[in-house]
Amino acid sequence: WGNKQSFVGLKGGFGTIRAGSLNSPLKNTKDNVNAWESGKFTGNVLEISRMAQREHRYLSARYDSPEFAGFSGSVQYAPKDNSGSNGESYHVGLNYQNSGFFAQYAGLFQRYGEGTKKMEGYYLYNIPSLFVEKLQVHRLVGGYDNNALYASVAAQQQDAKLYGTWSANSHNSQTEVAATVAYRFGNVTPR
């Protein structure tokens, strides 16, 4: 309730199948990446929210597996959202949790990235919002949480093939790393 997801689905021993407006596996890792809860007003100070730029909610279908020996996973498919040719995206998430230790992997694969549109015809102002032809985002998060001590490290790699540039083989890669440590004193958590 109150997380802006809306969906219909089935849940059972086989896992959970949902269709609707769903968080991506990248968005599901955000609490372990951004424990500081920085948002649009504090993001320029803490800079952690910049790592979360690819976290979205998609109109999609998603399967979440049941947990087995601490492991769980999810796959998600989002059809194109009127963003041009082949704008669909594929998402994957893998999770592990045991005795306070946790690890998460989330991946996004998309052709004609978020908000992009292929230029059709010649119009002076027909400029795509992003010049991304192929996009991959990989995030790995690991840490420890024992209800008093919390520590996590996250690494994210984005790789995009650009179009609409002078060079036929333009690539843009970006690697980001974030770390956070917190210790809880009852209801107070200094970070």
What confidence tens digit (pLDDT) does each residue in 66-88 have?
999 999 999 999 887 655 556 78
State the average pLDDT over residues 31-38: 62
Side-chain half-sphere CA neighbours of 162 within 13 A: 13
- Residue 91 placed within a domain: yes
Q: What is the DSSP letter of 112?
A: S
- Residue 13 placed within a domain: yes
State the average pLDDT over residues 34-62: 62
Close Cβ partners of 72 (under 8 Å, ≥ 6 residues apart): 64, 65, 66, 94, 95
Q: What is the CATH number of the domain that holds 62?
A: 2.40.160.10
- Residue 1 placed within a domain: no
**Structural domain of 115:** 6-183
Residue with tokens 């998430």: 93
158 class by beta-carbon count within 10 Å (0-12 exposed, 13-18 middle, 19+ buried): buried
Which one, of 46, 40, 58, 33, lies nearest residue 115 by Cα?
A: 58
* Mean of all residue pLDDT scores within the chain: 77
Contact 53, 108 (CB under 8 A): no
Close Cβ partners of 68 (under 8 Å, ≥ 6 residues apart): none
- Residue 148 placed within a domain: yes
pTM above 0.85, yes or no: no
Bridge partners (DSSP) of residue 130 are none
State the average pLDDT over residues 171-187: 83
Residue 167, helix vs strand vs coil: coil
- Residue 24 placed within a domain: yes
Tell me how crowded residue 9 is: count the other CB atoms within 10 A of its CB: 14
Question: To 5 degrees, how large is the angle CA 156–CA 158–CA 161?
Answer: 170
And the tokens for 45? 């100070």
What's the rounded Cα separation, in Å, for the pair 170 and 168?
Answer: 6
What's the rounded Cα separation, in Å, for the pair 165 and 171?
Answer: 10
> Which of the two residues, 34 and 124, has the higher pLDDT score?
34
- Residue 190 placed within a domain: no
State the average pLDDT over residues 148-153: 90
Domain count, the chain: 1
- Residue 191 placed within a domain: no
Residue 10: per-residue pLDDT: 94
Q: What is the DSSP letter of 67?
A: P
What confidence tens digit (pLDDT) does each residue in 117-145 have?
444 455 444 444 555 778 888 999 999 99
Bridge partners (DSSP) of residue 68 are 71
Residue 46: per-residue pLDDT: 53
